[in-house]
Structure 1
Protein backbone atom coordinates (compact mmCIF):
# COMPACT_ATOMS: atom_id res chain seq x y z
CA UNK A 1 0.00 0.00 0.00
CA UNK A 2 1.52 3.33 -1.01
CA UNK A 3 1.21 6.58 0.89
CA UNK A 4 -1.44 7.81 -1.52
CA UNK A 5 -3.48 4.62 -0.86
CA UNK A 6 -3.42 4.94 2.92
CA UNK A 7 -6.83 4.60 4.46
CA UNK A 8 -7.99 7.70 6.31
CA UNK A 9 -8.17 7.52 10.07
CA UNK A 10 -11.54 7.02 11.67
CA UNK A 11 -13.25 10.19 12.82
CA UNK A 12 -12.50 9.29 16.45
CA UNK A 13 -8.81 8.68 15.76
CA UNK A 14 -8.54 11.90 13.76
CA UNK A 15 -10.13 13.96 16.54
CA UNK A 16 -8.02 12.24 19.18
CA UNK A 17 -4.94 13.15 17.16
CA UNK A 18 -6.09 16.74 16.85
CA UNK A 19 -6.74 17.00 20.60
CA UNK A 20 -3.36 15.48 21.48
CA UNK A 21 -1.62 17.78 19.02
CA UNK A 22 -3.62 20.73 20.35
CA UNK A 23 -2.46 20.01 23.89
CA UNK A 24 1.15 20.03 22.74
CA UNK A 25 0.66 23.23 20.71
CA UNK A 26 -0.99 25.04 23.63
CA UNK A 27 1.68 23.89 26.07
CA UNK A 28 4.51 24.94 23.75
CA UNK A 29 2.90 28.32 23.01
CA UNK A 30 2.73 28.95 26.76
CA UNK A 31 6.33 27.73 27.18
CA UNK A 32 7.59 29.99 24.39
CA UNK A 33 5.47 33.00 25.34
CA UNK A 34 6.79 33.17 28.90
CA UNK A 35 10.35 33.12 27.54
CA UNK A 36 9.91 36.08 25.20
CA UNK A 37 9.58 38.98 27.71
CA UNK A 38 11.14 36.92 29.54
CA UNK A 39 9.38 36.56 32.87
CA UNK A 40 11.66 36.76 35.90
CA UNK A 41 10.63 33.27 36.99
CA UNK A 42 12.00 31.94 33.69
CA UNK A 43 15.46 33.44 34.04
CA UNK A 44 15.66 32.53 37.74
CA UNK A 45 14.75 28.87 37.13
CA UNK A 46 17.32 28.63 34.33
CA UNK A 47 20.23 29.12 36.77
CA UNK A 48 19.87 25.83 38.72
CA UNK A 49 19.70 24.05 35.37
CA UNK A 50 23.10 25.43 34.38
CA UNK A 51 21.84 28.15 32.04
CA UNK A 52 22.74 31.80 32.57
CA UNK A 53 20.02 34.12 33.89
CA UNK A 54 20.19 35.93 30.57
CA UNK A 55 17.08 37.37 28.91
CA UNK A 56 18.56 36.85 25.43
CA UNK A 57 19.15 33.14 26.04
CA UNK A 58 15.57 32.75 27.30
CA UNK A 59 14.25 34.62 24.25
CA UNK A 60 16.31 32.46 21.90
CA UNK A 61 14.90 29.28 23.47
CA UNK A 62 11.38 30.72 23.30
CA UNK A 63 11.73 31.62 19.62
CA UNK A 64 13.13 28.19 18.73
CA UNK A 65 10.25 26.52 20.57
CA UNK A 66 7.60 28.75 18.99
CA UNK A 67 8.93 28.32 15.45
CA UNK A 68 9.09 24.55 15.91
CA UNK A 69 5.56 24.58 17.31
CA UNK A 70 4.25 26.61 14.38
CA UNK A 71 5.81 24.12 11.96
CA UNK A 72 4.22 21.24 13.90
CA UNK A 73 0.80 22.89 13.87
CA UNK A 74 0.77 23.36 10.08
CA UNK A 75 -0.15 20.14 8.22
CA UNK A 76 2.37 20.65 5.42
CA UNK A 77 5.30 21.04 7.82
CA UNK A 78 4.06 18.98 10.76
CA UNK A 79 6.67 16.22 10.44
CA UNK A 80 9.64 18.62 10.41
CA UNK A 81 8.02 20.49 13.31
CA UNK A 82 7.69 17.21 15.24
CA UNK A 83 11.34 16.41 14.58
CA UNK A 84 12.42 19.89 15.77
CA UNK A 85 10.22 19.71 18.87
CA UNK A 86 11.64 16.26 19.64
CA UNK A 87 15.14 17.73 19.47
CA UNK A 88 14.07 20.66 21.67
CA UNK A 89 12.65 18.26 24.25
CA UNK A 90 15.79 16.16 24.02
CA UNK A 91 17.75 19.20 25.13
CA UNK A 92 15.42 19.60 28.10
CA UNK A 93 15.84 15.93 28.98
CA UNK A 94 19.64 16.20 28.78
CA UNK A 95 19.63 19.38 30.90
CA UNK A 96 17.51 17.78 33.61
CA UNK A 97 19.55 14.56 33.57
CA UNK A 98 22.82 16.52 33.82
CA UNK A 99 21.76 18.36 36.98
CA UNK A 100 20.30 15.23 38.57
CA UNK A 101 16.64 16.24 38.68
CA UNK A 102 14.10 13.55 39.61
CA UNK A 103 13.72 11.00 36.82
CA UNK A 104 9.96 10.51 36.45
CA UNK A 105 8.72 14.03 37.20
CA UNK A 106 11.39 16.24 35.61
CA UNK A 107 13.86 14.36 33.43
CA UNK A 108 11.32 12.23 31.56
CA UNK A 109 8.79 15.04 31.14
CA UNK A 110 10.18 15.71 27.66
CA UNK A 111 9.69 12.03 26.82
CA UNK A 112 6.05 12.23 27.91
CA UNK A 113 5.54 15.30 25.73
CA UNK A 114 7.28 13.58 22.82
CA UNK A 115 5.05 10.53 23.05
CA UNK A 116 1.92 12.71 23.05
CA UNK A 117 3.33 14.82 20.19
CA UNK A 118 4.07 11.83 17.94
CA UNK A 119 0.85 10.00 18.88
CA UNK A 120 -1.16 13.07 17.93
CA UNK A 121 0.66 13.41 14.63
CA UNK A 122 0.37 9.68 13.90
CA UNK A 123 -3.38 9.75 14.41
CA UNK A 124 -3.97 12.84 12.26
CA UNK A 125 -1.46 12.29 9.42
CA UNK A 126 -2.00 9.43 6.94
CA UNK A 127 1.52 9.89 5.54
CA UNK A 128 3.02 9.04 8.91
CA UNK A 129 0.69 6.05 9.36
CA UNK A 130 1.83 4.75 5.96
CA UNK A 131 5.48 5.24 6.88
CA UNK A 132 5.07 3.54 10.27
CA UNK A 133 2.38 0.86 9.85
CA UNK A 134 1.92 -0.58 13.35
CA UNK A 135 -0.65 -3.05 12.04
CA UNK A 136 -1.72 -4.33 8.69
Structure 2
Protein backbone atom coordinates (compact mmCIF):
# COMPACT_ATOMS: atom_id res chain seq x y z
CA UNK A 1 0.00 0.00 0.00
CA UNK A 2 1.11 3.50 -0.72
CA UNK A 3 1.16 6.30 1.77
CA UNK A 4 -1.98 7.84 0.25
CA UNK A 5 -3.94 4.59 0.57
CA UNK A 6 -2.88 4.23 4.20
CA UNK A 7 -3.97 7.80 4.91
CA UNK A 8 -7.32 7.27 3.19
CA UNK A 9 -7.99 4.06 5.12
CA UNK A 10 -7.00 5.70 8.41
CA UNK A 11 -9.23 8.71 7.69
CA UNK A 12 -12.10 6.39 6.76
CA UNK A 13 -11.71 4.48 10.03
CA UNK A 14 -11.61 7.75 12.01
CA UNK A 15 -14.78 8.99 10.29
CA UNK A 16 -16.49 5.69 11.03
CA UNK A 17 -15.71 5.95 14.74
CA UNK A 18 -16.80 9.60 14.79
CA UNK A 19 -20.07 8.71 13.07
CA UNK A 20 -20.74 6.12 15.79
CA UNK A 21 -20.18 8.70 18.53
CA UNK A 22 -22.33 11.45 17.00
CA UNK A 23 -25.73 9.82 17.68
CA UNK A 24 -24.72 9.31 21.32
CA UNK A 25 -23.66 12.95 21.63
CA UNK A 26 -26.92 13.96 19.97
CA UNK A 27 -28.93 11.82 22.36
CA UNK A 28 -27.11 13.30 25.35
CA UNK A 29 -27.57 16.86 24.13
CA UNK A 30 -31.21 16.17 23.30
CA UNK A 31 -31.70 14.71 26.77
CA UNK A 32 -30.34 17.85 28.42
CA UNK A 33 -32.49 20.08 26.21
CA UNK A 34 -35.60 18.00 26.93
CA UNK A 35 -34.95 18.03 30.68
CA UNK A 36 -34.68 21.80 30.70
CA UNK A 37 -37.75 22.34 28.49
CA UNK A 38 -39.83 19.83 30.46
CA UNK A 39 -38.82 21.49 33.73
CA UNK A 40 -39.72 24.91 32.31
CA UNK A 41 -43.09 23.66 31.06
CA UNK A 42 -43.95 21.83 34.28
CA UNK A 43 -43.10 24.84 36.47
CA UNK A 44 -45.56 26.90 34.43
CA UNK A 45 -48.30 24.24 34.52
CA UNK A 46 -48.07 23.74 38.30
CA UNK A 47 -47.83 27.52 38.82
CA UNK A 48 -44.55 27.74 40.73
CA UNK A 49 -44.64 31.10 42.53
CA UNK A 50 -41.29 32.41 41.23
CA UNK A 51 -42.18 31.44 37.66
CA UNK A 52 -45.58 33.14 37.93
CA UNK A 53 -43.90 36.29 39.31
CA UNK A 54 -41.41 36.33 36.43
CA UNK A 55 -44.22 35.83 33.91
CA UNK A 56 -46.26 38.61 35.54
CA UNK A 57 -43.30 41.01 35.20
CA UNK A 58 -43.39 40.35 31.45
CA UNK A 59 -47.13 40.92 31.26
CA UNK A 60 -48.08 37.24 31.13
CA UNK A 61 -50.88 36.32 33.51
CA UNK A 62 -51.04 32.99 35.37
CA UNK A 63 -53.68 31.43 33.10
CA UNK A 64 -51.71 32.31 29.97
CA UNK A 65 -48.50 31.02 31.60
CA UNK A 66 -50.18 27.65 32.20
CA UNK A 67 -51.28 27.50 28.54
CA UNK A 68 -47.76 28.39 27.45
CA UNK A 69 -46.42 25.59 29.68
CA UNK A 70 -48.83 23.07 28.12
CA UNK A 71 -47.80 24.22 24.64
CA UNK A 72 -44.12 23.84 25.55
CA UNK A 73 -44.68 20.33 26.93
CA UNK A 74 -46.58 19.30 23.78
CA UNK A 75 -43.81 20.62 21.48
CA UNK A 76 -41.18 18.93 23.64
CA UNK A 77 -43.07 15.62 23.49
CA UNK A 78 -43.14 15.83 19.69
CA UNK A 79 -39.39 16.52 19.70
CA UNK A 80 -38.70 13.43 21.82
CA UNK A 81 -40.62 11.01 19.58
CA UNK A 82 -38.32 9.99 16.68
CA UNK A 83 -41.08 10.01 14.03
CA UNK A 84 -42.16 13.54 14.97
CA UNK A 85 -38.79 14.96 16.05
CA UNK A 86 -38.46 17.29 13.05
CA UNK A 87 -41.94 18.72 13.61
CA UNK A 88 -41.10 19.09 17.30
CA UNK A 89 -37.86 20.91 16.48
CA UNK A 90 -39.69 23.28 14.12
CA UNK A 91 -42.35 24.01 16.75
CA UNK A 92 -39.73 24.49 19.48
CA UNK A 93 -37.88 26.91 17.19
CA UNK A 94 -41.08 28.94 16.92
CA UNK A 95 -41.69 28.72 20.66
CA UNK A 96 -38.15 29.85 21.50
CA UNK A 97 -38.36 32.63 18.91
CA UNK A 98 -41.50 33.82 20.66
CA UNK A 99 -39.69 33.62 23.98
CA UNK A 100 -36.88 35.77 22.58
CA UNK A 101 -39.40 38.28 21.20
CA UNK A 102 -41.15 38.43 24.58
CA UNK A 103 -37.79 39.11 26.26
CA UNK A 104 -37.13 41.94 23.78
CA UNK A 105 -40.54 43.50 24.47
CA UNK A 106 -39.99 43.16 28.24
CA UNK A 107 -36.52 44.74 27.86
CA UNK A 108 -35.00 41.85 29.78
CA UNK A 109 -31.47 42.41 28.55
CA UNK A 110 -29.27 40.50 26.15
CA UNK A 111 -28.73 37.30 28.16
CA UNK A 112 -32.34 36.02 28.16
CA UNK A 113 -32.66 36.83 24.47
CA UNK A 114 -29.39 35.11 23.57
CA UNK A 115 -30.32 32.17 25.81
CA UNK A 116 -33.58 31.58 23.92
CA UNK A 117 -31.86 31.79 20.55
CA UNK A 118 -28.94 29.62 21.67
CA UNK A 119 -31.31 27.05 23.08
CA UNK A 120 -33.10 26.92 19.74
CA UNK A 121 -29.77 26.14 18.12
CA UNK A 122 -29.12 23.37 20.64
CA UNK A 123 -32.48 21.80 19.71
CA UNK A 124 -31.29 21.50 16.10
CA UNK A 125 -27.70 20.49 16.91
CA UNK A 126 -28.98 17.63 19.06
CA UNK A 127 -31.33 16.49 16.30
CA UNK A 128 -28.68 16.75 13.57
CA UNK A 129 -26.19 14.77 15.65
CA UNK A 130 -28.83 12.05 16.06
CA UNK A 131 -29.81 12.20 12.37
CA UNK A 132 -26.86 13.39 10.25
CA UNK A 133 -29.00 13.00 7.10
CA UNK A 134 -30.77 16.19 8.14
CA UNK A 135 -27.73 18.24 7.16
CA UNK A 136 -28.45 17.53 3.49
CA UNK A 137 -32.12 18.31 3.98
CA UNK A 138 -31.44 21.59 5.78
CA UNK A 139 -28.88 22.66 3.19
CA UNK A 140 -31.30 21.60 0.42
CA UNK A 141 -28.88 19.07 -1.01
CA UNK A 142 -29.63 15.58 -2.18
What is the TM-score of this pair, normalised by structure 1?
Answer: 0.84
Report runs of 4+ in structure 1 exceeding 6 Å deviation. none
Any unmatched runs of 5+ in structure 1? 1-6
Any unmatched runs of 5+ in structure 2? 1-15
Distance of aligned partners of 1:18 and 1:114 in 2 relative to their CA distance in 1, 3 Å threshold = same
In the alignment, does 2:75 pair up with 1:75? Answer: no
Aligned to 1:110: 116
Residue 43 (structure 1) aligned to one of 46, 52, 55: 52
Supply the RMSD in Å over aligned alpha carbons.
2.1
Aligned residues: 125
What is the TM-score of this pair, normalised by structure 2?
Answer: 0.81
Q: How does 1:1-136 map to 2 (within 5 A)?
A: 10-52=19-61, 54=62, 56-103=63-110, 105-132=111-138
List per-residue Cα deviations over 1:114-136 (Å, max 9, x = no partner). Answer: 1111001011114413313599x
Which structure has more relative contact order (CA 8 Å, sep 6+)? It is 1
**Larger helix proportion of the pair:** 2
